[in-house]
C-alpha cells in the first residue's frame, strides 16, 4: 500500500493481499481523520458481502472469490464519542462463473486485493460525523457535530 495527500484528499494505492477496509481504517487512525467518505475501483481476489435482513435483525453473508473486478466502491468512516472507528461500505463486483458474467453487490464486510485498488479518501472538513446507536435497528447512524 502507498498513499499521498493532495489538497485535502488522500489517494491510496492498495496492493496484492491488502485488506481494503483495514488499510483505509489504518490511514484514518494514522492521519487522525475522524470522519470521511471514500470511493474506488480495482481488482480483488475475494470479498464478503452482506445483506441486512430486517425481519431477522441481522446480515446474511455471501463469500465470493476469484478474479473480481471492483466496479464501484463507496463508503464512509465515522467515530463515536469514545473515538472508536466504524466503517460502512457498499460495492459492486463483476466476475465470470461457469463462463457467464455475474454481478454481486451489497454491504461490505471485507475485501482482499488481487492486483491493485485505487481509492480516494475525502475527510470531512469543517465538522465531524459521529456514530449514533439506534436501539430499534441495532445499528449506528450518522450524528452531526458542527465546529464552532
pLDDT tens, residue by residue, 101-139? 999 999 999 999 999 999 999 999 988 888 887 777 767
CA end-to-end span of the chain? 36
Give whole-number Cα distances, 116 to 22, 58, 66, 70, 85, in Å: 15, 31, 14, 10, 24
103-138 in b/e form (b: 16+ CB < 10 A) is: ebebbbbebbbbebbebebebbeeeebbbeeeeeee
28-37 pLDDT per residue, tens: 999 999 999 9
Burial classification of residue 139, based on how many CB atoms lie within 10 Å of its CB (0-12 exposed, 13-18 middle, 19 or more buried):
middle
Q: Say what the pLDDT of residue 147 is.
A: 64
3-state secondary structure of 133: strand
Give the residue-averaged pLDDT of 86-107: 94
- In this structure, what is the dihedral angle of CA atoms 78, 138, 57, 111, given to the nearest 10 degrees? 20
User: Residue for cell digits 439506534?
Assistant: 134
Read off the pTM.
0.90
Give the residue-averaged pLDDT of 22-27: 98
Amino acid at each position: 500500500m502507498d498513499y499521498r495527500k493532495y489538497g485535502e484528499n488522500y489517494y491510496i494505492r492498495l496492493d496484492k493481499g491488502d485488506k481494503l477496509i483495514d488499510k483505509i481504517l489504518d490511514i484514518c487512525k494514522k492521519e487522525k481523520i475522524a470522519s470521511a467518505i471514500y470511493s474506488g475501483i480495482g481488482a480483488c481476489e475475494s470479498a464478503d458481502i452482506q445483506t441486512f435482513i430486517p425481519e431477522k435483525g441481522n446480515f446474511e453473508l455471501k463469500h465470493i472469490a476469484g478474479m473480481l473486478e471492483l466496479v464501484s466502491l463507496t463508503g464512509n468512516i465515522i467515530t463515536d464519542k469514545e473515538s472508536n472507528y466504524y466503517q460502512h461500505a457498499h460495492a459492486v463486483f463483476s466476475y465470470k462463473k461457469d463462463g457467464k458474467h455475474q454481478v454481486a453487490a451489497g454491504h461490505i464486510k471485507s475485501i482482499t486485493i488481487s492486483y491493485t485498488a485505487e481509492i480516494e479518501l475525502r475527510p470531512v472538513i469543517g465538522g465531524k460525523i459521529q456514530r449514533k446507536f439506534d436501539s430499534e435497528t441495532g445499528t449506528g447512524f450518522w450524528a452531526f457535530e458542527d465546529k464552532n
